[in-house]
Each structure stands twice: as structure tokens, then as C-alpha cells.
Amino acid sequence: MPNIVVVGGGLAGSEASWQLAKRGFSVDLYEMRPFVESAAHSTAQLAEVVCSNSFGGESEESAAGILKAELALGGSLILDCAHISRVPAGGALAVDRDKFAELVSAHIESNPNIRVIRTEVMDIPSAPCVIATGPLSSTAMTKALRARVGDYLSFFDAVAPIVTRESINMEKAYIAGRYGRGNDYINCPMNKEEYLAFYECLAGAERVVPHSFERGMRFSEDSYFEGCMPIEEMASRGLDTLRFGPMKPVGLPDPRTGREPYAAAQLRADNREGTLFNLVGFQTGLKWGAQERLLKTIPALENADIARFGVMHRNIYVNAPEALDEHLRLKKLLSESGESVFLAGQITGVEGYMESTAMGLVAGLNAACLLSGAPLPVWPPESAIGSLLRYLNDNTAKSFQPMNTNLGIFPPLGQKVKNKKLKAKMFYDRSLSASKAFWESM
């Protein structure tokens, strides 16, 4: 009998199994490929990287770099294999995807504490267990999760860009709720000329081509996506569609002129600290470069720092603040039967290769602590991993959307630092010193 079952041999499941195995626990790791295929994977290797071969930046001046430094402190197998199989990519950590997946597979398959079982798991196994079946979880596992979390399971990402609060030019924007109701929105007013420039940029903007398995599942054809029409789609219906939709200026007089603008882009707080703001109704599948250009045409956002780009894609994930406790366990099962079912990877509500890996490391370590009767770890809030966990637990956000690591979700530094590089380095130093103390205490 294994000590624990891990379902899904992707980035997170491999990392979680490794973390458990190196602490002496025996793991049965279930992977459905090659007998059952996913819509995006094409090999039988563990930790197959399905799209870009880049794991993001490594610099100390970025959240992605801080996250990698923390994964290194935690002895991440995925990060180690990425370093060994890296290919030149400037400041980013990019990998030879075949070599990378072969290395991870070899380490996992030769580990005496891990048995890899190639079969699809149709239901949640006996607890404790780790579910890391990813954004393209099999239909059976998706149904099993749905039965446990109900409406808190999402199937599609329709995300609007998110920008940092401090990069919004408040000399042009103003705070107001529609018809004077509350003060929850930052409004970016546009005159006719500005709106036409914005519209022209949007009309010519390049879109991401959907994967074949996403075609035919978009927008009104699928009830999950109703009300999530991307702005580029709305714009294609007519020049004024957006002015009667998310950019409606009615009830939003500019306090400087006393008049309603021609159009207005609205932003709403996206996190508890109010450091991140999302563009309301601006869900989009435009290419990232096109999103950057588009935002620059909006008065007050000409220098906006985009913390997270908009996306429209197939993605199975839980509404983490409702579905998970702070240790990534399914709340419902925990409260009903005391069972610890840990989720790991992208399915927890994070976004990205390294973020998914990090949630594999956390779930693996948590499960190891549970098995050894130790208290479950509390991650330092200043760290990249702690910030992601806090985001997953933040039930104050109006609607939960998956998040990648970015400095906007870290707790503020408590002082204004204008120099961006210096500021990022301060985040790095603070995170790393807290993380080192954390690992020493473990």
C-alpha cells in the first residue's frame, strides 16, 4: 500500500510526488497518458510542456525570478530539470521540451519511493491524496470534482487585463461609482477623438488563434461563456457597441468638467490590498503585444504596468477562495468527512508553468506534513509562493480569476520607491529572507 496517491503526472503532480518521495513516503503516481490522451499533450512523458517552452524570467527584478529562487530553496525537481535542459533565451529560462520531460520522467520513474501507474483515475481516490490533473483534466475527473465543488468549478478563462494601481495616471482618471453610487471604480474618460483612436487600434488588433479543441466552444455557443464576450468581438458588432456596453459613460460625470465623457473605461480593485485593478468587461483574446498597444490608447493607462494579460482559453480550475482551504484541501470534503484531498497545479487557480509547479511543491509538502503528523506549513506572506496562496484564499474579490505571479499580489513594501529595479530588488530580498527562514524552520 502506498502512503499516498497522486493523480496527474504533469508539472505539479511530478513535483508533488518528488517532494513526498524525498521525505520517505511511498507514492503511487497515476498518469492517464498514453492510454487516454489529453487535448493538448502529444507524448507519453511526464511533465510534458504543452505550449511555449519558456518558464519565464529569472531576473531578481521580477516576480517570476523571485518564484524561481524560492523553488530552488525548496529543492524543486522541475526547476532543476529545467536548468539542465535549458536553451538560450536571453533573460528567460527556456527548455528543450523533449529533454526536459525525459529528465523529469527518468527521475520520477527511477525513484524507489514512486510507482508510476499508467491509467486514468475516474474518481477522487481515498484520502489523503493529491489531485494534479491540470487545466485539461479528463472528463471523468472533471465530473468527480464537479460533484465535490459544484458551481465552484470553472471550464473556461475569460480574463480582462489587470494593471497595477500605482501605474494608473490619476491626473487623468477619477474615482466614482455610476450615478454617484459608491467610490469603487477608477474611470478613464475619453473624448470622441480618443475613443475613435482606441476603436481603430482594437479593430486592427491581432487575436490569438484558438486551439482546435477550443473552436466551436466559444462564447454564446457554450452556456459557460455567456456574458463573457471578448471586447474585440463586441467591437466587431459596431462602432458604438462598447459605448453602450462596458465603456458606457452614463452616470459617470467627470468631476473636473461636470460632464459625462464620450466613453469611459472602468477599473475595479482585484485584490484585498487594492494594488491591482482589472478593466471591467475587457475580457479579451488579443495577443499580448496588441493588448499593450490597446491599453496605451486609453487616457490614464498610457504607462500602465500590466500585471496579468487578458486570456480566453479552455481551463479547468476551482474557484479557490470558495473551494479550497489555506492548505489547498477541498473544503467540502474536509468539513463533511475530515478527508484531506489536496489539489495541486493549475487546477488550484494559479496560471503558468512555474506557478503550477509551485502549487505542486506546496501540496507535496503539505501532504508530507499531514502524513508525518506535523502541523501543515504556513508560508511567509512576503514570499512569491505565500502571495499566490494568499491570492487563492482571498474571498474579497468579486469574481475569482486564475493568477500568475506578479509583484502586484505581494504585500506592499510600506514605502514609496520610484526606481522600478530597486523596488523589485527590495521585494526579492524581503521574499528570499522570509523563505530562507521558512525552509530552515522546516
CA distances from 150 to 144, 299, 400 (A): 10, 41, 15
Q: Binding to ligand FAD by residue 349, rule CB under 6 A? A: no
Candidate residues 60, 96, 102, 120; the one interacting with ligand FAD per rule CB under 6 A: 120
Q: What is the DSSP letter of 12?
A: H
CB contact set of 114 (below 8 Å; sequence gap of 6+):
17, 18, 21, 26, 27, 29, 108
Q: What is the DSSP letter of 350?
A: B
Candidate residues 6, 27, 50, 127; the one interacting with ligand FAD per rule CB under 6 A: 50
User: What cell does 220 get?
Assistant: 454564446
Can you name the residues that pair with 342 across neighbouring β-strands?
130, 329
Applying the rule CB under 6 A, the residues between 140 and 159 that interact with ligand FAD are: 140-141
Q: Is the peptide bond before 189 cis (omega within 30 degrees of 0)?
A: no
Q: Binding to ligand FAD by residue 81, rule CB under 6 A? A: no
Q: Which is nearer to ligand FAD, 265 or 328 (CB)?
A: 328
Q: Which is nearer to ligand FAD, 246 or 349 (CB)?
A: 349
Q: Binding to ligand FAD by residue 102, rule CB under 6 A? A: no
Q: Binding to ligand FAD by residue 201, rule CB under 6 A? A: no
Q: Which is nearer to ligand FAD, 13 or 230 (CB)?
A: 13
Candidate residues 83, 115, 207, 211; the one interacting with ligand FAD per rule CB under 6 A: 211
Q: Which is nearer to ligand FAD, 279 or 361 (CB)?
A: 361
Question: Are 168 and 161 within 8 A, CB to CB?
Answer: no
Candidate residues 18, 30, 410, 438; the one interacting with ligand FAD per rule CB under 6 A: 30
User: What cell does 19 get?
Assistant: 517532494
Q: Which is nearer to ligand FAD, 34 or 274 (CB)?
A: 34
d(CA 427, CA 411): 9
Q: Binding to ligand FAD by residue 345, rule CB under 6 A? A: yes
* Gyration radius from the chain CA atoms: 22
d(CA 49, CA 100): 9
Applying the rule CB under 6 A, the residues between 260 and 299 that interact with ligand FAD are: none
**Segment lying near ligand FAD (by CB under 6 A), choices 83-91, 183-191, 250-258, 347-355:** 347-355
d(CA 57, CA 59): 6
Q: Binding to ligand FAD by residue 137, rule CB under 6 A? A: yes
> HSE-up of 25 (CA within 13 Å, CB side)?
26
Kindly state the number of chain residues that form the binding site for ligand FAD, as judged by CB under 6 A. Answer: 35
Q: How far is the CB of 96 from ligand FAD (least distance, A)?
A: 15
- Torsion sign over Cα 373, 318, 313, 143: positive
Q: What is the DSSP letter of 124?
A: -
Q: Which is nearer to ligand FAD, 249 or 345 (CB)?
A: 345
Q: Which is nearer to ligand FAD, 7 or 368 (CB)?
A: 7
Q: How far is the CB of 142 from ligand FAD (least distance, A)?
A: 8
Q: What is the DSSP letter of 126?
A: S
Q: Binding to ligand FAD by residue 32, rule CB under 6 A? A: yes
Taking residue 238's Cβ as centre, other Cβ atoms within 10 Å add up to 10
Residues that bind ligand FAD (CB under 6 A): 7-13, 30-33, 38, 40-41, 50-52, 120-121, 132-138, 140-141, 211, 345-347, 352-353, 356
